[in-house]
A and B are shown apart, each in its own frame.
Chain A
Amino acid sequence: MTTLEQTERLLETTSPATPPDTDGTGTALNTTNPADTTRFIDRKGVKPAVGFLVPVVLLVAWWVVAAAEVFTAVQLPPPVAVFEAAVGLIQRGDLWSHIGISVQRVLLGFGIGAVLGMIFGAILGLSRWADALLTPLLGALRAVPSLAWVPLLILWMQIGEDSKVTLIAIGAFFPVFTTLYAGLQHVDPHLVEAGRAFGYKGFRLFKTVQLPAVVPSIFSGLRLALAQAWLFLVAAELIASSMGLGFLLTDSQNNGRTDRLILAIILLAVLGKITDTLLGLAEKRAIARWT
């Protein structure tokens, strides 16, 4: 049996309700000795599978520690309790609405912030006048910690979707703006001059030479922005909301529901990772096309 098969078998048995036995984990780890992995690691699917090993080990450690009752159930509930909390929330119909509203806020805020970041990044990166006029201001706004916006946004837009989406958009704006702005400063001047020499200028030059040249920067900006969007989502929902994963965090804290609290953290990790992976796939394709 290969390590991959063992890992997969391991993964199939890692639902919190039926944690794997420690012996199985030990075997899986032992077979991935350095001599094998140097060649084996490059095979298709091996690397992602190996990435699950440490989380699985942590899960087992969590289960062992909880079972040994080192901490109280309020401090650290066992994996099973977290799983049951999830089942409970699903049965009440709350879990999907918490996830749904949070994902919606992140995607909306991220979309708005990213589009504005691209527009401002492009204009300030290309026009010296706009650069001189606006870059100092944006630099100062960027220095404002995210939470400082919250009271003002609530005052202006009340506690609703608008204020939360706006806060997330602010968070997503700056990484996109900054990377695009910086990327445009570093477009190969030889290529830009060649474009100009063949009569390209203004938007046509931007579309033909500068924009394709900064595709990699745009995507690294977008990935940073997406991470920021999740960060700002929790900030927004922690402070003022009645739904969403951030609300689930505060609500569970207030009610002493550590199981739900841990569930919310795990869900944030999983959702953040999924959205980042999707964007990463798009990035890979775009970079293959535009470099």
Chain B
Amino acid sequence: MTHANTSAVVCRNVGRAFGTNGTSRQILTNIDLEIAAGEIISIIGASGSGKSTLLRALGGLDVGFTGEVLIDGTAVAAYDPRCAIGFQEPRLLPWATVTDNVAIGLPEGTPKSTATARVAELLDLVGLAEAADHRPREISGGMAQRASLARAMARDPEILLLDEPFGALDALTRIKMQQLLLDVHAQTGTTTVMVTHDVDEALLLSDRIVLLDASPHTEGATIANIFTPPAPRPRASHDPALVVLREALLAGLGVEPLASSKG
């Protein structure tokens, strides 16, 4: 289950334009990024900066990009089986139980006995064992998001892609989910790429934070900066080093630091 040092993501000059009838709009341009196996990467940026577009390219959910995305040295395929995604919305099948929804994530051809045990294990891990037979409409948003995470992990991916997975959750549930993500990562060591617009979330969870912003040279967003939070996890949000980094990140996002926060 551990993929440490076995997989890495490489983006070379990745760009993506959307358009119809000849009018095309460049969303991403000139993205160069290398992700080491086992890293947790956050992609952060203002709305419309192409965060999700980049994530979708990494997972092969969208293969209309230019440039190269390599996983383990080979090009990403459409709906690449080496990746698993946790969407912004849980996207659970409303007619299926939590168990069956998590089982959707299992690789095709998983033997039934293995499947049952694996799903039960994952439900335990995300604390949904008691809700195993519930339908999505019978569980809370936080539980649904945990089911979605378990489904992604059921694929036993080399790369776990998360698109603002905790964005819609209340503050308390979000903290629990972030802790859960770190626990799971500590167990599996899965390379994780997460889109977020929450600066604190990025600071607490990531090995590196990729800031997307409008390219100074051409149309579209590109990597404006990559930040590396100094302290090892778990981190305290009031750590002075993080406070400095937070201001730098906010400045990068175009938010003026408050005078009072300048110690």
Contacts and interface: CB of A to CB of B under 8 A. Distances in A.
B104 A198 contact: yes
Interface stretch (B35-43, B85-93, B168-176, B204-212): B85-93
B89 A289 contact: no
A289 B95 contact: yes
A190 interface: yes
Contact of A197 (B85, B93, B96): B85
Contacts of B227: none
A199 B61 contact: no
Contact of A194 (B91, B95, B108): B91
B95 A197 contact: no
B246 interface: no
A291 B87 contact: no
Given A193-B61, A208-B104, A198 B84 contact: yes
A212 interface: yes
B95 A290 contact: yes
Contacts of B59: 197
B79 A199 contact: yes
Nearest to A193: B61
Given A199-B81, A199-B108, A194 B155 contact: no
A212 B104 contact: no
A205 to B, nearest CB: 11
B26 to A, nearest CB: 23
A198 B95 contact: no
A195 B95 contact: no
B108 A190 contact: no
A134 B105 CA distance: 35
B53 to A, nearest CB: 14
B89 A195 contact: no
* Shortest Cβ-Cβ A-B pairs, 3 listed: A194-B91, A290-B95, A212-B95
Interface of A: 190-191, 193-201, 204, 208-209, 212-213, 215, 289-291
Interface of B: 59, 61, 79, 81, 84-85, 87, 89, 91, 93-96, 104-105, 107-108, 151, 155
8 contacts: A190-B87, A194-B104, A196-B61, A199-B81, A201-B79, A209-B93, A212-B93, A291-B94
